[in-house]
Amino acid sequence: MRLLLLSNSLREGSGYLEWALPHLVEFFASTGVRKALFVPYAGATLGPDDYVARVAPVFAQFGVAVEGVHATDDPVAAVLRAESVVVGGGSTWKLLRDVRAARLLRPLRLRALQGMPYAGWSAGSNLACPTIMTTNDMPICDPCGFDALGLVPFQINPHYLHGHPPGFKGETREERIREFGTLHPRVWVAGLRECTGLRLEGDRLSLFGDGGACRVFRHEREPVEIAPGGDVQLLMDAV
């Protein structure tokens, strides 16, 4: 498989996907594709056409044309013939609901397993996991089940923030992930800090970015901090 899973799209003081641009350029250059089928379903307050209009200029910078899957006559057929698929962030709940309603879960998984390049950020990274249970956003709709694509055997928590922000006294992100681990003790969780990402080539996983270390969790183990460039292959261990 060829996966590029980003934590986020925005960085303070930078343009949309600007921090990720070198990684996107290298990933798509290595695949040789020139067209990407974009899945805009995570947009809740942003309409699908507007979402495509936001993403397309970024990809045009490195010669990849973007088409929205919602605008195709047959979304399933579009996925089955796609050169690559890109899944944007937003509401993970709405994304999974709409992907499921369009009957795209199986085709997306099939094509990715066949080696079709898949890139996503935030909710799009969550969708690549076995379930969406480690997303951060509110359940604004019923996705009719939590099972996602299962392209990787571990869970991702995008936008991972360690400790308490000033003035906040609720549960930390780590405490929430530990709750997940208590109920799912054999599943690894990767806490991806802002401006970091994971890339899978075949069965080799790597961590990149300049947003700090990835914090890795598993039940009854001390969390591990792994810096970009460090060995994250343990996440690929079977659950």
pLDDT over threshold 90, residue 8: yes
Q: What was the pLDDT predicted at 166? A: 77
Of these residues, 23, 159, 162, 219, which one is catalytic?
A: 159
Q: State the chain's mean pLDDT as an integer.
A: 95
Specify whether the CB–CB gap between 66 and 86 falls below 8 A. Answer: yes
Selected from 2.170.150.70, 3.40.50.880, 1.10.3720.10, 3.65.10.10, the CATH number assigned to the domain covering 2-236 reads 3.40.50.880
pLDDT digits (tens, 9 = 90+) for 214-238: 999 999 999 999 999 999 999 998 6
Q: What was the pLDDT predicted at 214? A: 96
The separation between the first and the last C-alpha atoms of the chain, rounded to the nearest angstrom, is: 19
Give catalytic status of residue 210 as yes or no. no
Give catalytic status of residue 147 as yes or no. no
Over pLDDT 70: what percentage of the chain?
A: 98
Is the pTM above the cut of 0.85? yes
pLDDT digits (tens, 9 = 90+) for 65-115: 999 999 999 999 999 999 999 999 999 999 999 999 999 999 999 999 999
pLDDT band at 31 (very low <50, low <70, confident <90, very high): confident
pLDDT over threshold 70, residue 200: yes
Give catalytic status of residue 231 as yes or no. no
pLDDT over threshold 90, residue 56: yes
Q: What was the pLDDT predicted at 156? A: 98
pLDDT digits (tens, 9 = 90+) for 146-188: 999 999 999 999 999 887 677 776 789 999 999 999 999 999 9
Of these residues, 84, 98, 137, 184, which one is catalytic?
A: 137
pLDDT over threshold 70, residue 239: no
Of these residues, 91, 122, 125, 184, which one is catalytic?
A: 122
